[in-house]
A = this chain, B = another copy of it.
């Protein structure tokens, strides 16, 4: 099937799933988890096939060892994947929520109601557990999706989505074509052009992938390219607290997008030497060249720079940062307040590690990704980010003319 036909059928599916009951969606999710569990041997076998091919590529130097590791689906990842699907089933239904009810006039009532966005295009790299995660989020939020996974995990992806779609075929009332998969680069090129049918693109992967996609499409893209996070150690910072937070933010998971990349230190902070020594002791590699100020290391390298004052720190972050997550360590409440108001990032933290920027830690239950956008959704994005709203207006022959000529007046009464 050509891409446009796939996209067209996704749009049709989106219109059908839009008002599916929470019951059917949750039933589908639990059945999917059960069927994946029942057929895990088949999935492991498909994954084995991918791994064997990938091994050859690693040997030839065409695939990195870390991609190979992400590709591997073991019992632990399988368990987390199943738990993830069941967790999504247990979450509150994000659609058909009344966001407000307002009586505009007697007998004329306006409802703002959450609803799905429509068709999502998801482009993701190696990790095969993403396909189950995204599929369950799409079902729960009543969106149709077109998935394009990394070519390294093609057998695993086919096996997992095959089981998911087989399950959905047996759920009464569940529409066809809610979850579809494409496989080639040409499909991606078509997807990025397909603004007629696709409402939102979500890239999950490294910053090269995300930058490429943002560059090539006019469809809204939800995500982040870079995670250049900062910690500013203010003049009055507590040394022990600073050491503890910075070590966590840099070493707890260095390749995560919410790990700290640059440490700014107030030039009058009296314990800079002790702080830097402690970080080095924790095997953090300190560098102080300006080239690394707009660079995501992804390892235990940490750029550092002394700054004259709070304003200079804020200015540095707003200039070189990526609007992801930035933290101040201080005892000065006024400075903390100013930092959080003036730093233009999705997350602005006070005396805490940047690593907390995460949908699960924020209590969203499931995460679509982290957005550095300034519209629609910002920061860790849960199911809410896959919804929009519509306005329902219920009247009884109400006409605008009466309000224009003064026969009637709006009273705009919010009902709770």
Q: From residue A193, how far is it (CB to closest CB) to chain B in Å?
A: 12
A104 lies within 8 A of chain B by Cβ: yes
- A305 close to chain B: CB less than 8 A: no
Q: B340 touching A392 by the CB < 8 A rule?
A: yes
CB neighbours of A118 from chain B (8 A):
344, 374
Q: Is the CB of A353 within 8 A of B400?
A: yes
Q: How many copies does the complex hold?
A: 2
Known: A388-B375, A412-B363. A397 touches B108 (CB 8 A): no
Binds B, one of A147-155, A241-249, A284-292: A241-249
The answer to the question of A348 belonging to the interface, with a C-beta cut-off of 8 Å to chain B, is yes
Contact A102:B363 (CB < 8 A) given known A118-B374, A341-B18, A400-B248: yes
| Chain B residues, CB < 8 A from A378 | 388-390
Q: Chain B residues near A24 (CB, 8 Å)? A: none
Does the CB pair A395–B350 fall under 8 Å?
yes
Query: Scoring A residues 165 to 177 as 1 if CB is less than 8 Å from chain B, else 0, what string do you get?
Result: 0000000000000
Decide yes or no whether A212 CB sits under 8 A from chain B. Answer: no
Q: Does A404 contact B (CB under 8 A)?
A: yes
Q: CA–CA, A252 to B346, complex, Å?
A: 44
Indicate if the CB atoms of A398 and B110 lie closer than 8 Å.
Answer: no
Chain B residues within an 8 Å CB radius of A18:
341-342, 344
Cα-based distance from A399 to B404 in the complex (angstroms): 59
A19 CB-CB contact with B under 8 Å: yes
Interfacial chain B residues near A380, Cβ < 8 Å: 391
Q: Beyond A348-B390, A352-B393, A379-B391: 13 further Cβ-contacts under 8 Å?
A: A18-B344, A118-B344, A118-B374, A199-B374, A241-B396, A241-B397, A340-B392, A345-B390, A347-B390, A347-B391, A348-B392, A353-B398, A353-B400
6 residue pairs of the A-B complex, CB under 8 angstroms, read A18-B342, A110-B363, A117-B374, A245-B397, A348-B392, A353-B399
Q: Interface on A for B, CB 8 Å cutoff?
A: 15, 18-19, 102, 104, 108, 110, 117-118, 199-200, 214-215, 217-218, 220, 238, 240-241, 244-245, 247-249, 252-253, 318, 336, 340-342, 344-353, 355-357, 361-363, 373-376, 378-380, 388-401, 403-404, 410, 412
